[in-house]
């Protein structure tokens, strides 16, 4: 994977951060985005540079499609100046947020925010970045096990993730001529800041969820970071248009 470059949205914390570190350890240059956590973005930069890797962190709100042309121009410029490249190899659509929003209470603002971050954003960001993705590259969309496991309050969020699993197949078909493989991952519950950090910080929730997982514990960010590095490796090049369940065997 040496001399390849990955663009990871939401790389400042949680799964995106771990994906960035795992890929950097394989020699992949990292372009990461963050929404507002500039200190965390700086900390990631220091960690990857200490590993001898190259990294560039750029602020981006994936809900704000109007900024995507400027973002794409910045990526093109950083590819040239920082990585000596015209194109990047891996796009990981990871950024997102959780909102507990049952049907009885969900507002149109919450609905729009979830759709914008998890569906509209990744679709149009991918569209704008397509000219910058190398032929033979990979796109990985981060979905969720909530597409398959039903937990009250997460229906709108899960619906956006289901849509991304479907779009993943169509992206694979449409980009096959360029030998770009497109897959998704569906992580189970992972101990991050997601949803207010409830899986990590609430002992009762943590214990309950751990009891639904075959391996007997909730996931850690590195469980996903390692899996993504494996999925993006050359040996997985025949996997295309599919969703990988990365849940430790949750609710199977």
Using CB under 6 A, pick the residue from 27, 58, 61, 226 that binds ligand NAP: 61
Asked if residue 88 binds ligand NAP (CB under 6 A), the reply is no
The position carrying tokens 């214990």 is: 207
Catalytic residue list contains 157: yes
Contact between 175 and ligand NAP (CB under 6 A)? no
Contact range with ligand NAP by CB under 6 A, out of 80-88, 103-111, 164-172, 192-200: 192-200
Out of 45, 94, 240, 243, the only residue in the binding site for ligand NAP (CB under 6 A) is 94
Binding flag, residue 130, ligand NAP (CB under 6 A): no
Can residue 222 be called a binding residue for ligand NAP (CB under 6 A)? no
Piece of the chain touching ligand NAP by CB under 6 A; list 55-63, 147-155, 170-178, 225-233: 55-63
Cβ atoms 78, 5 nearer than 8 A: no
Smallest separation, CB 178 to ligand NAP (Å): 25
Among 5, 6, 35, 79, binds ligand NAP (CB under 6 A): 35
20 binds ligand NAP (CB under 6 A): no
**Does 14 interact with ligand NAP (rule: CB under 6 A)?**
yes
Tell me which residues touch ligand NAP (CB under 6 A).
9-16, 33-37, 40, 60-63, 94-97, 117, 142, 144, 187, 189-190, 192-194, 199
Q: Which residues are catalytic?
A: 157
């Amino acid at each position: 994977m040496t001399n390849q470059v990955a663009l990871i949205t939401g790389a400042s914390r949680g799964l995106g951060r771990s994906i960035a570190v795992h890929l950097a350890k394989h020699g992949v240059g990292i372009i990461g985005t963050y929404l507002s956590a500039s200190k965390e973005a700086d900390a990631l930069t220091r960690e990857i540079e200490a590993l001898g890797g190259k990294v560039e962190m750029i602020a981006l709100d994936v809900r704000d499609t109007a900024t995507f042309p400027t973002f794409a121009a910045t990526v093109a410029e950083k590819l040239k100046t920082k990585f000596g490249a015209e194109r990047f190899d891996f796009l990981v659509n990871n950024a997102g947020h959780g909102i507990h929003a049952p049907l009885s209470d969900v507002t149109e603002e919450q609905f729009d925010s979830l759709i914008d971050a998890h569906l509209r954003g990744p679709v149009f960001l991918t569209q704008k970045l397509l000219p910058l993705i190398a032929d033979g590259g990979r796109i990985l969309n981060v979905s969720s096990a909530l597409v398959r496991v039903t937990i009250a309050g997460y229906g709108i969020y899960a619906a956006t993730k289901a849509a991304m699993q479907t779009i993943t197949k169509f992206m694979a078909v449409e980009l096959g001529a360029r030998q770009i493989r497109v897959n998704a991952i569906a992580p189970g519950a992972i101990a991050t800041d997601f949803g207010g950090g409830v899986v990590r910080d609430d002992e009762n929730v943590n214990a309950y969820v751990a009891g639904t997982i075959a391996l007997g514990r909730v996931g850690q960010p590195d469980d996903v970071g390692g899996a993504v590095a494996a999925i993006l490796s050359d040996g997985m090049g025949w996997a295309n248009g599919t969703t990988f369940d990365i849940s430790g065997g949750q609710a199977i």
